[in-house]
Amino acid sequence: MLNYKNRNMSYEDIHFSKEELSRYDRHIIIPDFGFEAQKKLKASKVLVIGSGGLGSPALLYLAAAGVGTIGIVDFDVVDDSNLQRQVLFGVDEIGKPKVEAAKKRLESLNPYIDIKIYNQQLTSQNALEIIREYDVVADGTDNFPTRYLVNDACVLLGKPNVYASIFQFEGQVSVFNYINREGELGPNYRDLYPTPPPPGLVPSCAEGGVLGVLPGIIGSLQALEVIKVITGVGETLSGRFFIFDALNFEPRTFKIKRNPANPVNGENPTIKQLIDYELFCGVKAVEKPIKEITAKELYDLQVRGEDIQVIDVREPHEYEIANIGGELIPLATVSANADKIDRSKKVIVHCKMGGRSAKAVRELEEKFGFTNLYNLKGGILGWIDEVQPELTKY
């Protein structure tokens, strides 16, 4: 339950207009929810980090439910590949900042609430300042550095963090850093996962995909837990870890506990302020730089008729959508096909965005000693932007 005593305004002082009472009637008539819970919602401030797959349903339901102040952090713009699951947005918003599109949509849904937007990336520099203003955080970001950043900031500030995460057909939900009615503090993300996977071992949704309806389910559960944290109604998922497998419809709930070795709030904390999370997650790991080529430079090579080889390390179904005539050797098979790669001329390696091809170049350089490989910067998407806009973007 939230402690309302330290707040400027007590939830008891909250009043509703006639229109609001009518709007929230179906909440107010629930015996175990009622007017009290509705007042707590209006008095509360919730920060939703990420307004994408999870943030879309979570924001829609939190706004509809009457959370008085909702903050949204996102630095991205709406892309047509978002619309398969990010139900906050429509075709008219493509190219616009997500936070602005979200604010417009939510204000049209509920004009009686206050929406604050942060069109920026959450960083170690701004996280405490932004999160400090809120009572509850809902984390729906898409990368490990931000997951640990949000977690640590919430622990340092004493804010409950409603966590949700998805991948392909699988979703996870929990409530971290929550103080229950007995005054006991529950576990946080670092108790569950002390360290992140090394980069590249676990693919992101951008690489591995996600079934569009899954964030709808999991983001709605996230909104549910936020409402329970605010109102104190029911039992939150604090100390429990819920996972949902959409393929076999098998929900499982596990017990989780605080770990005395937790570096942020265990017995001997070593992290007392926010750290460099990209470094912590190995994203900034010192990797040998690889040679790069821009789409424009590649185009110039082709125009000059230079003898080059182009290798496409994407999957066959991606190749079918759009290709630039490269030889298809999916990332997982590059080592097995190393003999197909020419050593006597420039070899351009590309994928969709440049991540997988960088990995392929490193693998080939390390295992087989190639010195003539160039990674196409920005992948085929960069090529489409700069050279061949008629190709299908995906």
Partner 1 sequence: MATIIIPTPLRKFTNNTARLNIQAGNVKGVVEELTLNFPDLKKHLLDDQGNIRSFVNVFVGDEDIRNLQQENTPIKEETVISIVPAIAGGLA
How far apart CA 131 and CA 46 sit, in angstroms, is: 9
Q: Cα-Cα-Cα-Cα dihedral of 190, 195, 199, 205, to 10°? A: -30
The tokens of 5 are what? Answer: 């005593």
Q: How far is the CB of 79 from partner 1 (least distance, A)?
A: 10
C-alpha 290: how far from chain center: 28
Q: Nearest to residue 68, comparing CAs of 103, 100, 101, 43?
A: 43
Sign, CA dihedral 40-255-191-48, equals: negative
Window 24-63: residues binding partner 1 (CB under 8 A) = 50-55
Smaller CB separation from partner 1, 107 or 245: 245
C-alpha 113: how far from chain center: 25
C-alpha 23: how far from chain center: 31
The bridge status of strand 170-176 relative to strand 161-167 is antiparallel
Q: Nearest to residue 231, comparing CAs of 85, 69, 40?
A: 40
Smaller CB separation from partner 1, 30 or 206: 206
Q: Binding marks (x or -) toward partner 1, 137..156, rule CB under 8 A?
A: --xxxxxx--x---------
Buried b (16+ CB within 10 A) or exposed e, 224-235: bbbbbbbbebee
Q: Is 281 a catalytic residue?
A: no
Out of 70, 156, 347, 351, pick the active-site residue: 351
Per rule CB under 8 A, count of chain residues that contact partner 1: 51
Smaller CB separation from partner 1, 194 or 269: 194
Out of 46, 87, 113, 205, pick the active-site residue: 205
Q: How far is the CB of 55 from partner 1 (least distance, A)?
A: 7
Window 344-363: residues binding partner 1 (CB under 8 A) = none
Beta strands per DSSP E along the chain: 45-49, 69-73, 114-118, 136-139, 161-167, 170-176, 240-245, 250-255, 292-293, 308-312, 327-328, 346-350, 373-376
Smaller CB separation from partner 1, 257 or 340: 257
Smaller CB separation from partner 1, 51 or 357: 51
Smaller CB separation from partner 1, 160 or 196: 196
Q: How far is the CB of 66 from partner 1 (least distance, A)?
A: 24
Window 52-111: residues binding partner 1 (CB under 8 A) = 52-55, 74, 76
> ∠ at Cα 71 (69, 75), nearest 5°?
165
Window 166-205: residues binding partner 1 (CB under 8 A) = 166-170, 172, 192-197, 201-205
Q: Is 154 a catalytic residue?
A: no
Q: Binding marks (x or -) toward partner 1, 244..273, rule CB under 8 A?
A: -x-xx-x-xxxxxx-x--------------
What residue ranges bind partner 1 (CB under 8 A)?
50-55, 74, 76, 139-144, 147, 164-170, 172, 192-197, 201-206, 208, 210, 215, 241, 243, 245, 247-248, 250, 252-257, 259
Catalytic residues: 205, 351
